[in-house]
Amino acid sequence: MKFRPIFQELMRRVKEPRKFIQVLLGPRQVGKTTLASNLEKSLRIPTYYASADTVTLEDLTWIKAQWEMARQKIGKEGLFIIDEVQKIPYWSDLIKKLWDEDTKNHINLKVVILGSSPWLMQKGLSESLAGRFEVLPITHWSFQEMSDSFGWDLNQYIYFGGYPGPQSLANEMDLPRWVNYINDSLIETTISRDILLMTQVNKPILLRRLFQLGCTYSSQILSYQKMLGQLQDVGNTTTLAHYLELLSGAWLLTGIEKYTNQKVRSKASSPKLQVMNTALMSAQSGKTFGEAMADKPFWGHLVESAIGAHLANGIRGTQIELYYWREDNREVDFILKKGKSLTAIEVKSSTPKETLSGLEAFDQAFHPSKILLVGQDGISIEEFLRKPVDHWI
């Protein structure tokens, strides 16, 4: 049986003496539950699995009952896996109480929590479970993973992205089914169940339109004022920034900040919109695989979005930060920062643009440790996507 590389790290942590709750955070349909199932099969200790995903608002009694079932089953040592716990209000307060009871009573029940709404999960973790948990990000699948598991080539990955579930539909014949799966089972389910149901959103239509706009303009810099103009909605930039944060927390769409020496100025900058998985962009585009490849400007944005998604996913759970840089008409697509180390990355796809002038200006202003040209005349896109992000630091 072939496992994702992250599985070995999860196994290592669970085999350690009981010390922390392990929290698996990530988007829907990337294999968190499968990882948990593989964990059950691979461990030689009793395990108990419970999921709150089938309900909208379970009460705390459900958690307490499931925890007691896990206690009864484990014997001397065991594992309790609880899925989608963030759907239950005040879940973290009760889990803290139950975890501390087990610690006090020397009950060796190890706990793994799975969640698909990282923003909501982090809220509960930071409020109640500080010092009692570790987060293990379960990201969208990389090109290397899709290639190893399904034999995908580079162009397939750029268009169809990193969702393993609908991979059998990722072809021209089944394209309508693939598009419907991405739109209905992933996008709509995530927005309606992981954002709108769990968080107060005063303008849900605006949030949906912002997501669609992000798919259209992924890999492009867009000010919040221009976004409001495109959305034709009465709103304000603060609302848009908040909605973009919610979409980022759901692993759909993020806004990359501009690199400056001042953190306050970075936060106030126009974001570079970035889908977290190019499948989201392709499914919203209305273009077939062949049409997308033939449309050079669109394909160029798709290629850059694939690289941006690779970087945005790859820095999760690390000390690496991701930015872009622009001054006047000179631009660098991506900046990786770790401590004092800077890596400037320019993507040269089929879209003509000023490449070297931006790198030269950034080099003169900030003296990065590395300057990388990805694509034509540089590192191949395939090689870049096959390497983990920290390889380029």
Q: Is the dihedral of CA 219, 224, 229, 231 positive or negative?
A: positive
**Which is nearest to 210 in space by CA: 229, 182, 185?**
229
**Stated pTM of the model:** 0.90
On whether the CB atoms of residues 334 and 310 are closer than 8 A, the answer is: no
Exposure of 222 in the CB half-sphere (CA atoms within 13 A): 24
Per-residue pLDDT of the chain (393 residues; tens, 9 = 90+): 468 889 999 999 999 999 999 999 899 889 898 998 898 888 888 999 998 876 555 688 889 999 999 999 888 889 999 988 877 878 888 999 999 999 999 999 999 999 876 656 666 677 778 888 998 999 999 999 999 999 999 999 999 999 999 999 999 899 999 999 999 999 999 999 888 877 889 899 999 999 999 999 999 999 888 888 888 766 688 889 999 999 998 999 999 999 997 765 556 689 999 999 999 999 999 999 999 999 999 999 999 999 999 999 999 989 999 999 999 889 999 999 999 999 999 998 755 554 578 999 999 999 999 999 999 889 999 999 999 999 999
CATH 3.40.50.300 residue spans of the chain: 6-137
Q: How far apart are CA 115 and CA 312, in angstroms?
A: 19
Mode of pairing for the β-strands spanning 253-258 and 341-348: unpaired
What is 6-137's CATH topology?
Answer: Rossmann fold (3.40.50)
Residues in the chain, total:
393
Q: Is the distance from CB of 79 to CB of 47 less than 8 angstroms?
A: yes
What pLDDT is recorded for position 363? 94
Residue 355's pLDDT is: 58
